[in-house]
Each structure stands twice: as C-alpha cells, then as structure tokens.
Amino acid sequence: MLQYGIIFLVIAIVAGLFGFRGVANASASIAKLIFAVFLILFILTLIFGRGFL
C-alpha cells in the first residue's frame, strides 16, 4: 500500500514539473490519502498485533 502512495507522489511531482496542475493536485491528494490509511493500519497493527497488513 505504501508503494502506491509513493507512486502517486512521484506522479504528482512529475506532473507539477511539466505544468499539469490539475493532475499534480489530484495525485498529491491520492498520495496523502493512501499514506494516511497506511499509517492508520500500521498503528492498529502495532496496538493489536494481529497483522492487519
């Protein structure tokens, strides 16, 4: 899951460099969302220790 977040972050950076602001904003938003979900699942895994990931 973290790989998808990194992929969308790279897409956002490349799109921003080429001037595609709409694509860059959308990709950055998706990357933030995926990273937040990853962090929540990671913390839940640490707390409960059941291996949700």
**2-53, pLDDT tens digit by residue?**
788 888 888 888 888 888 888 888 888 888 999 899 999 889 888 888 655 5
DSSP string, 5-45: HHHHHHHHHHHHHHT-HHHHHHHHHHHHHHHHHHHHHHHHH
What is the residue extent of each domain of the chain?
A: 2-48
Judged by DSSP in three states, 4 sits in: helix
Residue 45 tokens, joined:
């895994």
Distance (Å, whole) CA 40 – CA 52: 11
Distance (Å, whole) CA 7 – CA 27: 9
DSSP conformational letter for 53: -
The pLDDT score that the predictor gives to residue 37 is 92
The pLDDT score that the predictor gives to residue 40 is 93
The pLDDT score that the predictor gives to residue 52 is 58
